[in-house]
């Protein structure tokens, strides 16, 4: 038997589909507006001060390729977001010379940063005996004698953002700051000059 189709019977279905499509479009536009208003920018990092108390070969040890390092680093976290707070967790800071760490990892406390807020931390880094390669030790001592040492500060951890009741998931945080440090010949000072503007790269 041939099925009869009555005129106008598909209009309710078409109307329902149009309503669903309109709601999806409005939801997409709303989500886009919220994202554009609240999307977080990467936090900014900078190194404000470096004090070096020891940076020398540990000659008293039976192992020749050991460094005695002691330094204090002051770096600044800046949140450029006016509406978004930032959580930092599992933060660890190292100091590298070339591609080798010359300080053990130093843990930092968890931090919540208010919108447009700034936080400064001054961890003390170092150890009496830090193992390095022979080439690294030789080059570092040569730079130390010359009075200019290139260092790299690395911060690892995780970060998430909070805007009102909304929170993002955790993302990995990697910060690298390249420093050129001036050291007095024949001795180690405390607050040492930073010979160029430290450049910090932030990856999330």
- How much is the pLDDT for 30? 57
Q: Is residue 67 part of a domain?
A: yes
Query: Do 177 and 47 touch, CB atoms closer than 8 A?
Result: yes
Q: Is residue 141 part of a domain?
A: yes
- Domain co-membership, 103 together with 153: yes
- Domain co-membership, 26 together with 46: no
Q: Is residue 5 part of a domain?
A: no
- Domain co-membership, 51 together with 104: yes
**Where is pLDDT greater, at 25 or 7?**
25
- Domain co-membership, 14 together with 101: no
Q: Is residue 73 part of a domain?
A: yes
- How much is the pLDDT for 34? 53
Q: Is residue 1 part of a domain?
A: no
- Domain co-membership, 23 together with 86: no
- How much is the pLDDT for 90? 96
The half-sphere exposure of 73 on its side-chain side, counting CA atoms within 13 A, is 29
pLDDT digits (tens, 9 = 90+) for 40-91: 788 999 999 898 898 888 876 677 889 999 999 998 999 999 889 999 999 9
Q: pLDDT at residue 8 above 90? A: no
Rounded average pLDDT over 3-8: 52
Q: Is residue 46 part of a domain?
A: yes
Rounded average pLDDT over 27-43: 62
Q: What percent of the chain has pLDDT over 70?
A: 83
Give DSSP secondary structure letters for 90-142: EEEEEEEETTEESS--EE---EEE-TT-EEEE--EEEEEEEE--HHHHHHHHH
Q: Is residue 2 part of a domain?
A: no
- Domain co-membership, 143 together with 173: yes
- How much is the pLDDT for 196? 78
- Domain co-membership, 19 together with 68: no
CA distance 151 to 174: 16
Q: Is residue 101 part of a domain?
A: yes
- How much is the pLDDT for 36? 45
Least confident range from 81-95, 125-139, 145-159, 180-194: namely 180-194
- Domain co-membership, 30 together with 112: no
- How much is the pLDDT for 9? 52
Element (H, E) at 51: strand 44-57
CA distance 15 to 147: 78
pLDDT digits (tens, 9 = 90+) for 99-147: 899 999 999 999 999 999 999 999 999 999 999 999 999 999 999 888 8
Overall domain count for the chain: 2
- Domain co-membership, 84 together with 32: no
- Domain co-membership, 78 together with 28: no
Q: pLDDT at residue 160 above 70? A: yes
- Domain co-membership, 16 together with 79: no
Element (H, E) at 38: helix 11-38
- Domain co-membership, 116 together with 50: yes
Average pLDDT of the residues of the chain = 84
CATH of the domain at 181: 2.60.40
- How much is the pLDDT for 2? 52
Give residue 105's domain range. 40-203
């Amino acid at each position: 038997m041939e099925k009869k189709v009555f005129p106008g019977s598909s209009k309710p279905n078409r109307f329902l589909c149009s309503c669903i499509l309109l709601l999806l479009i409005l939801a997409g536009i709303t989500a886009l507006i919220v994202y554009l208003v609240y999307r977080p920018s990467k936090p900014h990092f900078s190194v404000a001060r470096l004090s070096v108390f020891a940076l020398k070969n540990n000659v008293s040890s039976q192992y020749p390729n050991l460094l005695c390092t002691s330094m204090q680093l002051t770096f600044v976290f800046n949140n450029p977001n006016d509406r978004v707070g930032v959580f930092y967790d599992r933060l660890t800071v190292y100091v590298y010379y070339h591609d080798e760490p010359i300080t053990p990892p130093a843990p930092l406390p968890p931090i919540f940063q208010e919108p447009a807020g700034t936080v400064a931390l001054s961890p003390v880094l170092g150890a009496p005996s830090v193992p390095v390669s022979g080439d690294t030790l030789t080059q570092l001592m040569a730079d130390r004698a010359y009075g200019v040492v290139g260092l790299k500060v690395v911060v690892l951890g995780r970060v998430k953002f909070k805007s009102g009741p909304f929170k993002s998931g955790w993302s990995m945080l990697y910060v690298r700051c390249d420093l050129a440090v001036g050291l007095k010949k024949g001795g180690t000072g405390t607050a040492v000059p930073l010979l160029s503007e430290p450049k910090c790269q932030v990856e999330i």
